[in-house]
Structure 1
């Protein structure tokens, strides 16, 4: 199974070969990370050029944080995660949806034919063992193992789908949230917005809140995994060189609401709520404009 790990901060000094990333031919004329006006992650791209991709938010500085970039043959970067080793939790997962990586060459039903007869949830071995979450951490916790980059969004290969089951891409979720409004959001991304009507490429960053004590609902009783109080989604659509952005902010509780309009916020507002600087690799003028507004009608909300 092919993946790429790079330590973003000073916790470890590891040099690994960087796998090339496949870009959609319909991207803006300048590839992510090469536009004028890029400033926030400019230094980080000297370490790993993938950090200049448009889905990447600003990387957190200080502390024991890792940036994990998982890649697969034929499709390049699958998704990336910023992992807080001290908290044993992810700050976000980011990824792209486009016509190339959205093809279906794998069925999740095939996991039932394996020797274990089920989904391949597993530890992420690119994280040092003492900082990983484990299957035992979730067992009898009362919470779902909630995907951030959805399994159903990565059916282009067995390997790509399996990587979404790494526990680094998982956070504890209340079942009525995971199978409710969060599932509704995933369905809208996959079935409505990930189409030629809305995108050449969708750039997505998602996660649950772990940074502020006021945004932590609690901890699992046995393993003390962080249970986020809120979950968020930041979406940037690029279609024919035009940009649209949408933020979604959810309280983490059982919720079957199907009207995503109720959770829509500007990216500027989402940044204030989360403390995360999204889409920082855009040219400044475009970033400032697209993050300040939402066209709800354009998004069909």
Structure 2
């Protein structure tokens, strides 16, 4: 047999191995899920069905801790970058979240009807316009809280617009939003619950934003100069439309809620960022 014939099987094997490696090699994914809990799981939420007031829900568009007894999320965490923003229309398909455990009451689109409160998004519709599916995911009722109309349409809308303005200017933003307490004032006055007592109206609504320039290795790029905005607001229809008037510290929100925010950061860095009150621009 000639040397050429002897080498032929060897090259065939090399070719097949290279094809196999190419087939299984990790590909650059267009999916942006997985970053939503980069800063940590504030309440240690789990997917244990017995953990019914701190139940972890993770979908590609955001992550949250859900309270069965309150009928609302405790907190929702998501990531905003230019990759999440596109041209998909607002879907307005409010609906029950059928992924909740069997036997749990599932809040429906009509649960807020005539209550005096908006179906207030945590992860905003306009933060998820990459695809129709992404936008539709924000209309699950597990992403909603009873929110005073002026709070939702003015104060909160201004902050959400500012967040996307930051992204448009070359930043990326990690956001955690939550609510606590009982008793908010909507267009019909004070209420502690709606939907025949099955949905709690929160007394306070808070949000934390951590802002970075576009880049990679986000966790490694956070330092003591990283801008962190923390606000804590009353769920009240007479609220000031200027969200900057409600700036506070992450520490103060942690004391009010019992959560451990920014827990993925090194302890010293976490403490530095959490005790600061933002003084940056608001528009």
Aligning the two structures, in what range does the TM-score lie when normalised by the shorter sequence? Answer: 0.7 to 0.9
* Per-residue deviation, 1:258: 3.5
Q: Which whole-Å CA distance do the structure 1 matches of 2:128 and 2:56 have between them?
A: 20
The question of 1:160 aligning with 2:131 is answered: no
Task: State the partner residue of 2:258.
Answer: 275
Q: Which whole-Å CA distance do the structure 2 matches of 1:57 and 1:195 have between them?
A: 28
Q: Which whole-Å CA distance do the structure 1 matches of 2:36 and 2:152 have between them?
A: 29
The question of 1:79 aligning with 2:62 is answered: yes
* Per-residue deviation, 1:176: 2.0
Q: Which whole-Å CA distance do the structure 1 matches of 2:183 and 2:118 have between them?
A: 22
Aligned-residue CA RMSD (Å): 2.8
| Contact in 2 for aligned 1:181/1:255 (Cα 8 Å) | no
Query: 3-state SS of the aligned residue for 2:103?
Result: helix
| Contact in 2 for aligned 1:21/1:50 (Cα 8 Å) | no
Which structure shows the bigger proportion of residues in helix conformation?
2
Deviations 1:62-105 (A, max 9, x none): 8423111111xxxxxx1011011233221011100112222x13
Task: State the partner residue of 2:59.
Answer: 70
Q: Which whole-Å CA distance do the structure 2 matches of 1:123 and 1:221 have between them?
A: 14
* Per-residue deviation, 1:265: 0.7
Over 3 Å counting, the alpha-carbon distance change for 1:179 and 1:252 in structure 2 is: same
* Per-residue deviation, 1:53: 1.5
Who wins on radius of gyration, i.e. which is larger? 2
| Contact in 1 for aligned 2:229/2:277 (Cα 8 Å) | yes
The question of 1:284 aligning with 2:267 is answered: yes
Task: State the partner residue of 1:227.
Answer: 201
253, 274, 278: which one aligns with 2:236: 253
Task: State the partner residue of 1:209.
Answer: 180
Aligned residues: 236
Task: State the partner residue of 1:106.
Answer: 88
Of the structure 1 ranges 201-210 and 57-66, higher mean CA displacement relative to structure 2 is found in: 57-66
| Contact in 2 for aligned 1:55/1:204 (Cα 8 Å) | no
Q: Which whole-Å CA distance do the structure 2 matches of 1:87 and 1:259 have between them?
A: 28
* Per-residue deviation, 1:233: 0.3
Q: Which whole-Å CA distance do the structure 1 matches of 2:262 and 2:278 have between them?
A: 17
Higher RCO (CA 8 Å, separation ≥ 6 residues): 1
Segments of 5+ residues of structure 1 without an aligned counterpart are: 1-19, 25-48, 72-77, 112-118
Task: State the partner residue of 1:59.
Answer: 44
Q: Which whole-Å CA distance do the structure 1 matches of 2:79 and 2:277 have between them?
A: 20
Question: Superposed, which structure 2 residues align to 1:1-301 within 5 Å?
Answer: 22=31, 53-54=38-39, 56-60=41-45, 63-64=51-52, 65-71=54-60, 78-102=61-85, 104-108=86-90, 111=91, 119-131=92-104, 132-191=106-165, 193-197=166-170, 199=171, 201-210=172-181, 218-220=192-194, 222-239=196-213, 241=221, 242=223, 243-255=226-238, 257-297=240-280, 299-300=281-282
Q: Which whole-Å CA distance do the structure 2 matches of 1:154 and 1:56 have between them?
A: 21
Deviations 1:267-287 (A, max 9, x none): 112211222211111122221
